[in-house]
Amino acid sequence: MTPPPDHPPIAPRRIGVLLINLGTPDAPDPPAVRRYLAEFLSDPRVVEIPRLIWQPILRGAVLTTRPKKSAHAYQQVWREDGSPLAAITRAQAQALAGDFGPGVTVDYAMRYGNPAIGDRIQALKDGGCDRILLAPLYPQYSGATTATANDKAFAKLAQMRWQPAIRTLPPYHDDPAYIAALATSVRQAMAALPFTPDALLTSFHGMPERTLKLGDPYHCQCQKTARLLGEALGREVTITFQSRFGRARWLEPATDVVLAELPARGIRKVAIVAPGFSADCLETLEELAIRGRETFIEAGGSDFAYLPCLNDSPVGLDLLRTLIRRELEGWLPVT
């Protein structure tokens, strides 16, 4: 009997590693940004307002105004090889290919937009992977990031008669390897600055404050990362939360508010790093490096430096290797 088409080849057995990040528009223009925002902001893990109330607001006010504004922001950071978030995540996957042995395929996917999680899981399975490590690249867990990435993968698996075995990368907010990688990266970037910062800000993506009260560990995990990074660097770090969205109360203190207040408190030279992002993206390159700088300088600051994310730097890739290798234990070596 001919096996059904969804059967993976029996041998050799392969392992798939799927790096997952948030997602980004396909192009920096309003129609592409609108498609992306419609998918992203329709996710009930992201906007926890009842569908019947939220969808009219989203389809009305939000999707008629925000795509134009956001497209303008994307245009300022877009690269020749596309959106920074997608280009860097792709570079991470390409750099890791082959690092775990010949039986391991490393691929990447985006929770919203392309390449889609379901398509890449299918491609891994079609390529013979009967074990897949899902690696949402969020050091701090939140329902709006880690959980929804895993949900999307499991929704794909729900359609499969013969599923691959699955592992998921746990949050790594307090992992010594992550803290050491951050500290090294910050030290290297600070050593190259033409000035000595009076303050180091760690800016994390914000979340509605309500999510903290509902039990999301994100806020606490951000606090712990910032504390451990400060200890590793032997200096004080100031934690802030960026990218407020909507009218609800968000986690505080807000990055833009703090940047505007610092010069009046005598802090005129600042460096800022975004440890919660595994790849630079709109939120770091436009919101922090461009608008954050403007806010700080207009408020009377003299020197501002945005320190890059771990990205596909040697230190960043070493961290990913360490995190992934640990999860593959027991699955390796592949015959």
Ligand X SMILES: C=CC1=C(C)c2cc3[nH]c(cc4nc(cc5[nH]c(cc1n2)c(C)c5CCC(=O)O)C(CCC(=O)O)=C4C)c(C)c3C=C
Residues that bind ligand X (CB under 6 A): 22, 24, 46-47, 66, 70, 83, 85, 138, 142, 144-145, 205, 207-208, 243, 245, 276-277, 281-283
Q: In the chain, what is the straight-line distance between the N-terminal and C-terminal CA atoms, in Å?
A: 27
Q: Is 287 annotated as a binding residue?
A: no
Q: Which among ligand X, Fe ion, none contacts residue 307 (Cβ within 5 to 8 A by kind)?
A: none
How would you label 262-296 residue by residue, b for 16+ Cβ within 10 Å and e otherwise? Answer: bbeeebbbbbbbbbbbbbbbbbbbbbbbebbbebb
Q: Which among ligand X, Fe ion, none contacts residue 331 (Cβ within 5 to 8 A by kind)?
A: none
Smallest gap from residue 83 Cβ to Fe ion (A): 14
**If residue 194 lies in a helix (H) or strand (E), which one and from where to where?**
none
Between 92 and 284, whose beta carbon lies closer to Fe ion?
284
Distance CA 285, CA 169 (A): 26
Distance CA 14, CA 133 (A): 11
Q: Which among Fe ion, ligand X, none contacts residue 145 (Cβ within 5 to 8 A by kind)?
A: ligand X
Give the residue ranges of DSSP H helices in 174-280.
Answer: 176-191, 209-213, 218-233, 255-261
**Residue ranges in contact with Fe ion by CB under 5 A:** 243, 283, 287
Q: What is the DSSP letter of 163?
A: P
Q: Which among Fe ion, ligand X, none contacts residue 63 (Cβ within 5 to 8 A by kind)?
A: none
Could you count the other beta carbons within 10 Å of the beta carbon of residue 201? 27
Q: Which among ligand X, Fe ion, none contacts residue 259 (Cβ within 5 to 8 A by kind)?
A: none
Between 100 and 141, whose beta carbon lies closer to Fe ion?
141
Q: How many CA atoms lie within 13 A of 183 on its CB side?
A: 19
Between 74 and 304, whose beta carbon lies closer to Fe ion?
74
Residue of closest CB approach to Fe ion:
243
Between 145 and 313, whose beta carbon lies closer to ligand X?
145
Q: Is 205 annotated as a binding residue?
A: yes
Between 113 and 128, whose beta carbon lies closer to Fe ion?
113
Amino acid at position 177, single letter: A
Annotated binding-site residue numbers for Fe(2+): 205, 283
Annotated binding-site residue numbers: 205, 283
